[in-house]
């Protein structure tokens, strides 16, 4: 396994020989090494998505669709369309890639593909504070403390461009991309995934099956959100089945 520059400053951990038959995309705050045990023995790459691992952040804030655009040339330049594996945020990007560039199939795990709740509007107190910050009545330092107090752990862990990326991504839903996909899709989900519950995958499965897309479905008991590291053998089995299809 070695780290390789694959395009535009994006790095990937490589397995086996080039060209890869499998491209793996990691979750938010993670890196390609999450797939080390999953991809052992395959001709594959596990990309460090921009802003994570060895890959620098994108120049401008963008969502999963923008990330797919950044990675498009990597996929398009391969001799044969690869199988794309996506975990969590990487699965968002994988679905967007499959809608714009040829791939042989998708293996998805823990991916928030569809929004299942209407986002709550910020409280009036926070909106007033935000307005006061824009007018200069409240300092940037105080505003940042308030953002961090209210934000998720992922939000608090990043700043600058990557914080703007996160804000963009969490507001996205990928129904248009799901409705554009025609290649086989395998869902591999942790039954105890409390970050992205299996019900999200079931709804996505329904959308795909209504269009005649072949779908495989695996739920792993006693496994949570981090399937690539918690259940690498199960994820590998789904990849092997998809590659052989």
DSSP assignments along 69-82, one per residue: HHHHHHHHTSSSPP
> How far is residue 12's CA from residue 82's CA, in Å, rounded to a whole number?
15
Could you tell me the residue range of the domain that residue 161 belongs to?
124-166
Least confident of 22-36, 80-94, 162-176, 227-241: 162-176
Q: Quick one: pLDDT at residue 126? A: 62
Domain match, 51 and 145 both: no
Domain match, 28 and 98 both: yes
Q: Quick one: pLDDT at residue 144? A: 66
Could you tell me which of 12, 90, 93, 4 has the C-alpha nearest to residue 45? 12
Domain match, 107 and 206 both: yes
Q: Residue 33 class from Cβ within 10 Å (0-12 exposed, 13-18 middle, 19+ buried)?
A: middle
Confidence of residue 136 (pLDDT cuts 50, 70, 90): confident
Domain match, 83 and 147 both: no
Q: State which of 166, 184, 199 marks the end of a domain.
A: 166
> How far is residue 195's CA from residue 180's CA, in Å, rounded to a whole number?
26
Domain match, 51 and 162 both: no
**Domains: count for the chain:** 2
Confidence of residue 91 (pLDDT cuts 50, 70, 90): very high
Domain match, 87 and 20 both: yes
Peptide bond into 19 cis (omega under 30): yes
Q: Are 200 and 113 in contact (CB under 8 A)?
A: yes
């Amino acid at each position: 396994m070695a780290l390789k520059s694959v395009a535009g400053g994006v790095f990937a951990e490589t397995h086996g020989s080039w060209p890869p038959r499998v491209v793996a995309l990691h979750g938010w705050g993670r890196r390609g090494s999450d797939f080390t045990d999953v991809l052992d023995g395959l001709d594959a790459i596990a990309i460090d998505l921009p802003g994570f691992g060895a890959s620098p952040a994108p120049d401008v804030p963008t969502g999963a669709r923008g990330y797919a655009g950044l990675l498009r040339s990597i996929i398009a330049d391969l001799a044969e369309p690869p199988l794309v594996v996506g975990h969590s945020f990487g699965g968002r990007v994988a679905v967007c890639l499959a809608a714009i560039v040829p791939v042989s199939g998708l293996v998805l795990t823990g991916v928030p593909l569809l929004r299942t709740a209407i986002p709550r509007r910020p409280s009036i107190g926070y909106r007033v504070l935000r307005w006061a910050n824009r007018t200069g009545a409240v300092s940037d330092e105080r505003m940042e403390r308030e953002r961090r107090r209210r934000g998720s752990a992922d939000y608090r862990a990043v700043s600058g461009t990557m914080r703007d990326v996160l804000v963009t991504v969490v507001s996205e839903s990928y129904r248009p991309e799901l409705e554009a996909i025609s290649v086989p899709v395998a869902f591999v989900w942790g039954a105890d995934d409390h970050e992205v519950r299996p019900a999200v995958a079931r709804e996505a499965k329904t959308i795909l099956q209504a269009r005649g897309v072949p779908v495989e479905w695996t739920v792993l008991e006693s496994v949570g959100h981090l399937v690539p590291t918690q259940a690498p053998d199960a994820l590998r089995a789904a990849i092997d089945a998809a590659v052989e299809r």
